[in-house]
Amino acid sequence: MTARRLVYYAGIAMICAWILVPIWLIAVGAIGGRQGVFLWPKSLWPREFSFAAVELFLRIEGVGKALWNSVLAAALTMVLSVALGAPAGYALARFAFRGQNAYRLLILLTRAFPIAILALPLTVSFIRWGLYDTVFGVALVHTALALPFAALVSSSLFAGIPRELEEAAWVFGCTRLQAFAKIVLPLALPGIAATAIFAFVISWNEVFAASVLTVRERTLTAYLLTVLSESPLHFRFAGGLVLILPSVVFIFAVRRYLFAMWGIANR
């Protein structure tokens, strides 16, 4: 192995460590026991192993239901944001139409405005519309938050797929829809899966809307965070871990889609 190769692999390993070490430290905080978080100097290895904090979290009344609500809200967000965002992304990529930039600005608005400041009018509307305290209502707000990702990321994907491929299909007698379904969609699908993953993760981690818009139908994040802010430190680490792990596992489970992108590059 050349020296250059060595530097290269060392770089990759260092970036991995840069990402993983902080996650490991949350885990140490969560399982190192109540006093462990206050040790000085700290050690990278927990002094005692105790899953008591994590266990207590999982045993609180309603965590199971909150977990289910979180999964539902995230899944709904995923479906809705792709269904609404991908067509818009295609329009942005393929057509030069009036109002295109205005539309881009509109979808970015949703991320440019702090959602918490909208909480009051949004909650009033949701109560009137009967969406208050429902998982579906939470998913709708999360979709608004995930939409810019879905639309913009899919637009840059569609933009990267050569228009000639599609035009060739028309020449061979395909309708626009057929050409899209047979040529463009298969190429874009992995990237669209990536946007779906974004949507899932955005919904999973969103706290504020989920907490204000629900009372009993809390998502896991909202449920844990209301109890977290005043809880002892090792509980907070345990809560952090409990929240991080599922989305990490989720990203791992769907990594095939993330990586299918590479298939195109390597054709």
What residues numbered 167-206 form the site for another protein, per CB under 8 A? 176, 187, 189-191, 194, 196-198, 201, 204-205
User: Which residues, 123 to 152, sit near another protein by CB under 8 A?
Assistant: 123-125, 127-128, 132-136, 139-141, 143-144, 147-149, 151-152
CA 93 to chain centre: 23
Q: How far is CA 51 from CA 28, 88, 241, 242, 245, in A?
A: 11, 47, 12, 12, 15
35 binds another protein (CB under 8 A): yes
- Count of all residues that appear for the chain in the document: 267
One symbol per residue from 244 to 263: x for binding another protein (CB under 8 A), - otherwise; what is it? x-xxx-xxx--x--xx-xxx
- In the complex with another protein, the residue whose CB is nearer, 38 or 49, is 38
Q: How far is CA 166 from CA 172, 173, 182, 188, 213, in A?
A: 10, 11, 9, 13, 44
Contact status, residue 144 vs residue 110, Cβ threshold 8 Å: yes
**What's the closest the beta carbon of residue 49 comes to another protein, in angstroms?**
18
**What's the closest the beta carbon of residue 173 comes to another protein, in angstroms?**
17
**What's the closest the beta carbon of residue 11 comes to another protein, in angstroms?**
7
Q: Count residues near another protein (CB under 8 A).
A: 149
Give the residue from 11, 105, 73, 98 showing the smallest Cα distance to 209: 73
User: Which residues, 38 to 77, sit near another protein by CB under 8 A?
Assistant: 38-44, 56-57, 60-61, 68, 72, 75-76
Rounded distance between C-alpha atoms, residue 229 and residue 235, angstroms: 10
Rounded distance between C-alpha atoms, residue 144 and residue 43, angstroms: 43
Number of helical (H) and strand (E) elements in the chain, helices listed first = 13, 0
**What's the closest the beta carbon of residue 186 comes to another protein, in angstroms?**
11
- In the complex with another protein, the residue whose CB is nearer, 169 or 212, is 212
- In the complex with another protein, the residue whose CB is nearer, 49 or 116, is 116
Q: How far is CA 191 from CA 67, 179, 257, in A?
A: 27, 18, 8
- In the complex with another protein, the residue whose CB is nearer, 6 or 109, is 109
**What's the closest the beta carbon of residue 172 comes to another protein, in angstroms?**
19
One symbol per residue from 92 to 111: x for binding another protein (CB under 8 A), - otherwise; what is it? xxxxxx--xx-xxxxxxxxx
Can you tell me which of 66, 157, 169, 184 binds another protein, judged by CB under 8 A?
157
**What's the closest the beta carbon of residue 89 comes to another protein, in angstroms?**
9
User: Which residues, 211 to 250, sit near another protein by CB under 8 A?
Assistant: 211-212, 215-217, 221, 225-233, 235-237, 240, 243-244, 246-248, 250
Rounded distance between C-alpha atoms, residue 48 and residue 43, angstroms: 11
Rounded distance between C-alpha atoms, residue 147 and residue 85, angstroms: 6
Rounded distance between C-alpha atoms, residue 160 and residue 190, angstroms: 13
